[in-house]
Amino acid sequence: MALSRSPLYLRHFESPSLISGCIKLMASVQVAGKPSPFNYEYGYLCFKIITLAVGVCLLARRYELAGTISEMIADQDSILLDIFSRRVSQVVAEETEEAYGRDPACDWILGWIKAPNRPQQPPLASRTDIMTLLVILEGDRKAFLKSVSSTVTPGLSGVMFMIWRHVHAKCISKTHSRPESIAVPFSEVLWRCMLAATKDEVTPFMYMFNDMESISDLWDKHSKRYDEGDSINVLNTYIMRLDPTNLQRYSRLTSVEMTAILRFIKWTVEPGCEALIPRVFSMSLDRAWEAVAEKEVDDSILIDAVGRTLVYLGCALSFVQD
């Protein structure tokens, strides 16, 4: 990881084999026979290397790695990996936006298709490795959220982009025999990433969320596995995002972002987290009212966001009463 602190050495992370190797190492870190890498520094280190390697590969394939390195060298005031993460998120957002309405358009950068005026790239990771990584992240989701919300994980949007394109191909572009087996784990990981998203990651994560909306009912039907500790961590992170103190790292949730996250949070309310519910309600309602008063977005979008907010809060309240 010392290499990542020197911009000139970032090129050493441009290696699909490094990504594959680290995924296999993460899978080997187990507790009671199940992968649990985020409970150990070694496992989390492997994941950080994956995020760096994926990010470097994406930047290199867009011919933006040299410019990123130059910016990191020239900017003496910013944290080096913050610059890196921002540039990766910009590439992911642009490629994701490019894919809207033209299904596989952005898959060239992952090496999965040949695109006009683009060189053929080797696969960034095999689909088997991507599924292995998704299973690991979802299986260790509680520790994963703690890790990404309490430490700096530069380039997280790049890893999620890679997984999202695999899920999109299997569950949205094609008919999968059991789409819930892929869509549910990905949705679980994605909303946790949205919850802990830094400023640069918000836009690409929201693009992915919007794409998954068409099959979001699968998550509602199949994923409701939480415990008190996880619920408390989720709600505390949500409260932090509504009133962040580290404004250099986090942006305050917009009304639309808040509504998207509340869709998932409504299911996480478990016995033991009741003390947090009044603050969740008051801050959410204050944020919704502020959005109305300031006409934060177009009326139709605002009405939908506020309406959904009230519905999701109502669902959470019913779970508390039960």
Largest CA distance in the chain: 58
pLDDT of residue 266: 85
pLDDT of residue 114: 84
Helix (H) or strand (E) holding 290: helix 277-293
Q: Are 141 and 154 in contact (CB under 8 A)?
A: no
Cβ neighbors of 178 (< 8 A, separation 6 or more) are none
pLDDT of residue 284: 96
The tens place of each residue's pLDDT in the chain, 322 residues long, gives 555 567 888 999 999 999 999 999 999 999 888 889 999 999 999 999 999 999 999 999 999 999 999 999 998 888 888 999 999 999 999 998 876 655 667 899 999 988 878 888 999 999 999 999 999 999 999 999 999 999 889 999 999 999 999 998 888 766 667 878 898 999 999 999 999 999 999 999 999 999 888 777 787 787 667 889 999 999 999 999 999 999 999 999 999 999 999 988 888 888 888 899 999 999 999 999 999 999 988 989 989 999 999 999 988 877 666 6
pLDDT of residue 1: 57
Question: Using CA atoms, how far apart are residues 104 and 50, in angstroms rounded to an integer?
Answer: 23
CA distances (Å), origin 131, targets 27, 181, 205, 222: 11, 11, 19, 18
pLDDT of residue 197: 96
Backbone CA torsion sign across 81, 38, 183, 33: positive
pLDDT of residue 203: 95
Question: Using CA atoms, how far apart are residues 157 and 296, in angstroms rounded to an integer?
Answer: 26
Exposed/middle/buried for residue 279 (C-beta within 10 Å: 0-12, 13-18, 19+): middle
